[in-house]
Chains A and B, each alone.
Chain A
């Protein structure tokens, strides 16, 4: 076991895969010489050289287009989009090109690209550098969507994403960068589409993702003090979605809460609420409750941003109110 920060786990995970596969390359803005604006790619240029770790101009479409073209001709690629908000600039390549090419070509085309991007709030950056946009990607057929919450998951899920022949959007959370955790020795490889029960409980299921996972865990801790036993599920990947983990938990607890950082409308929790309502209705003792950022652009000021993103307090309060 080695303790790593979430930030360092990114470079650690990429290095593991670049050592394994000498074809694997990466590109993005400021990722080589500077080691990334979030310092998630430090050391990679030194180890793998400028042919495999490449700085690009500020050309998001050119970055993802190049990633796709290389991938479809036999060179797997990790591409970085500095902030996930910038996906809007190159969303054509993500949503119309990478995601559709296998289907449109009757299965001829394979696009093994991982698009890594820094997602989410908590940094007081304002609405254009803070949004949680995992739901943008979740709604596109043909994209896999991953959002780890711990350093070990960063390494294992990065490896799984890189080895997956389908395009994956990999969301690294800005507010988790400095958090630390143990990463197993040796090669770490995880599996996409497997949620994790990170705390067992019997009274309520709290489903969370990325930055909301530590908050859900804190909330569960506090709920336990009040005699409420909450089970916390870290979804880890939105596509494929581990519905078995959710439905299994609901069968046990009979109540479901989602904790989502994305703005309310069409957040991932809406899909989960719908699946639970349709497939586990008779297991439920009460409505599925979504705890989300309101449907607003994210504000910059600390006081407002903290109010917007689901807090531990809000989770505790909402669960209690609804279980009474």
Chain B
């Protein structure tokens, strides 16, 4: 056996050299985004942050059961894309989909209630945290089998093409997802059919508990693969809502005008573990601290202050969001557990579950 392949030091992830964030690009303060739009981006990030912090508190109180994957630290990606999308565009997300669901304008209450497994949940308690969906908002689902939803997202884009609408599909996934076959099938398929779709890789540097660079043949898991599908290499600072927003406007406009698919790699970091059960100990401390210093929300807060917005105005936004999160929490807690009648509904289009006469 070739023992060189098994270097135990390599597997001691917490003591590796940290992967540090790039410095903030101060030039992004001058991207020409108007202030109203920026305040909207700020509010969106506040919603995602405060909602998920509350969701986390409720795990600790054992009100949220099962598993749950938070996007704390990654909010700028969903906020930036959410702001750039049109109301009738389609979103496809992974099990880490709370933020992408909320950024399509889905009410906070039913989402929170779904996490609590209540009847007033978005999915009547039948889907849970990993499957948030709201068809009426164009949120076409959160999918928990790695890679599958890239191919499904293609179908929504194909359908828009067939129906002659100019709807765009945006599909989010992680860095780890770039190593599964479905990713490659989907990218090739979208390219040859010139589908109106944007693939967004949220590169948070880890596939579950394993650093992405140790298990991927190229340093940038998405961007370095783009050329294989005839697509340009696009990397964006996923912690900078302005940068994400501008990139999103670009690639969405390209898709809408018939220019075909794009693959965007947004580099970011999750501030917590992979899921509820994971303390995230496999990451170098220095790395976690450095990325916390690049937290998208304080960074954006500073930028807005620099642009002349007052602390008072930002505090007012924060408080308004806090009130909405409180209301959502109350709404969720007040929900009853799903009635037994829900067990045997919604398997078939007739509403039932009968497989025989």
Give chain A's interface residues, CB within 8 Å of chain B.
23, 25, 51, 56-57, 59, 61-62, 64-75, 77, 92-93, 96-97, 101-110, 141-142, 164-166, 193, 239-244, 275
Query: How far, in whole Å, are A101 and B169 apart by their CA atoms in the complex?
Result: 18
B185 contacts partner chain A, Cβ-Cβ < 8 Å: yes
Q: A62-B188, A66-B154, A93-B152 are in contact. Are A240 and B356 (CB under 8 A)?
A: yes
Q: A56-B189, A107-B345 are in contact. Are A65 and B123 (CB under 8 A)?
A: no
Query: How far, in whole Å, are A69 and B149 apart by their CA atoms in the complex?
Result: 9
B284 contacts partner chain A, Cβ-Cβ < 8 Å: no
Q: Which of A25, A68, A106 contacts B162 (CB 8 A)?
A: A25
State the majority secondary structure of interface residues on A: mixed
Which residue from chain A places its CB closest to the CB of B186 in the assembled complex? A62
Q: Which of B122, B155, B345 contacts A65 (CB 8 A)?
A: B155
CB neighbours (8 Å) of A102 from chain B are: 346-349
- How far does the Cβ of A67 sit from chain B's closest Cβ, in whole Å? 6
B145 contacts partner chain A, Cβ-Cβ < 8 Å: yes
Q: Nearest 7 pairs between A and B by C-beta?
A: A69-B155, A65-B151, A165-B349, A59-B185, A106-B124, A62-B185, A107-B346
Q: Determine if B135 and A61 form an interchain contact, defined as CB atoms under 8 angstroms apart.
A: no
Q: Determine if A92 and B145 form an interchain contact, defined as CB atoms under 8 angstroms apart.
A: yes
Q: List 24 A-B contacts (CB under 8 A).
A: A57-B192, A59-B151, A61-B147, A61-B185, A62-B185, A65-B150, A65-B151, A65-B153, A68-B151, A68-B155, A69-B159, A72-B135, A73-B140, A74-B159, A77-B155, A102-B347, A105-B127, A105-B141, A107-B351, A108-B133, A109-B140, A109-B141, A243-B357, A275-B356
| Extra 19 A-B pairs, beta carbons < 8 Å, given A72-B155, A240-B355, A242-B357 | A51-B162, A62-B188, A65-B150, A65-B154, A65-B185, A66-B151, A69-B152, A70-B155, A71-B155, A75-B159, A96-B145, A102-B346, A102-B347, A102-B349, A104-B127, A105-B346, A106-B122, A106-B127, A108-B123
Q: Determine if A69 and B123 form an interchain contact, defined as CB atoms under 8 angstroms apart.
A: no
Q: Which of A51, A73, A106 contacts B346 (CB 8 A)?
A: A106
B156 contacts partner chain A, Cβ-Cβ < 8 Å: yes
CB neighbours (8 Å) of A193 from chain B are: 357
Q: A59-B185, A65-B186, A105-B123 are in contact. Are A241 and B356 (CB under 8 A)?
A: yes
Q: Determine if B157 and A92 form an interchain contact, defined as CB atoms under 8 angstroms apart.
A: no
Query: How far, in whole Å, are A25 and B163 apart by their CA atoms in the complex?
Result: 11
Q: A67-B155, A106-B346, A108-B135 are in contact. Are A73 and B148 (CB under 8 A)?
A: no
- How far does the Cβ of B138 sit from chain A's closest Cβ, in whole Å? 9
Query: How far, in whole Å, are A25 and B90 apart by their CA atoms in the complex?
Result: 20
Which residue from chain B places its CB closest to the CB of A77 in the assembled complex? B155
Q: Determine if A166 and B348 form an interchain contact, defined as CB atoms under 8 angstroms apart.
A: yes
Q: Which of A62, A96, A101 contacts B189 (CB 8 A)?
A: A62
Q: Which of A64, A164, A243 contacts B356 (CB 8 A)?
A: A243
Give chain B's interface residues, CB within 8 Å of chain A.
90, 121-127, 131, 133-135, 140-141, 143, 145, 147-160, 162-163, 169, 181-182, 185-186, 188-189, 192, 345-349, 351, 353-357
Which residue from chain A places its CB closest to the CB of B180 in the assembled complex? A61
CB neighbours (8 Å) of B155 from chain A are: 65-73, 77
Of B125, B145, B163, B356, most buried by chain A (CB within 10 Å of CB) is B356
CB neighbours (8 Å) of A97 from chain B are: 143, 145, 148-149, 152
Q: Determine if A61 and B356 form an interchain contact, defined as CB atoms under 8 angstroms apart.
A: no
Query: How far, in whole Å, are A105 and B346 apart by their CA atoms in the complex?
Result: 9
Q: Determine if B148 and A65 form an interchain contact, defined as CB atoms under 8 angstroms apart.
A: yes
CB neighbours (8 Å) of A105 from chain B are: 123, 126-127, 131, 133, 135, 141, 346
- How far does the Cβ of B33 sit from chain A's closest Cβ, in whole Å? 31
Q: A97-B145, A101-B141, A166-B348 are in contact. Are A69 and B163 (CB under 8 A)?
A: no
Q: Determine if B356 and A59 form an interchain contact, defined as CB atoms under 8 angstroms apart.
A: no
- How far does the Cβ of B168 sit from chain A's closest Cβ, in whole Å? 12
Q: Determine if B159 and A59 form an interchain contact, defined as CB atoms under 8 angstroms apart.
A: no
- How far does the Cβ of A209 sit from chain B's closest Cβ, in whole Å? 15
- How far does the Cβ of B117 sit from chain A's closest Cβ, in whole Å? 12
Q: Determine if B151 and A141 form an interchain contact, defined as CB atoms under 8 angstroms apart.
A: no
- How far does the Cβ of A74 sit from chain B's closest Cβ, in whole Å? 6
CB neighbours (8 Å) of B189 from chain A are: 56-57, 59, 62, 66
CB neighbours (8 Å) of A141 from chain B are: 347, 353, 355
- How far does the Cβ of B60 sit from chain A's closest Cβ, in whole Å? 26
CB neighbours (8 Å) of B148 from chain A are: 61, 65, 92-93, 96-97
Query: How far, in whole Å, are A103 and B185 apart by their CA atoms in the complex?
Result: 27
Query: How far, in whole Å, are A107 and B147 apart by their CA atoms in the complex?
Result: 23
- How far does the Cβ of B346 sit from chain A's closest Cβ, in whole Å? 4
CB neighbours (8 Å) of B345 from chain A are: 107
Q: Determine if B349 and A103 form an interchain contact, defined as CB atoms under 8 angstroms apart.
A: no
Q: Determine if B152 and A68 form an interchain contact, defined as CB atoms under 8 angstroms apart.
A: yes
Q: Determine if A62 and B163 form an interchain contact, defined as CB atoms under 8 angstroms apart.
A: no
Query: How far, in whole Å, are A71 and B349 apart by their CA atoms in the complex?
Result: 14
CB neighbours (8 Å) of A103 from chain B are: 126, 346-347
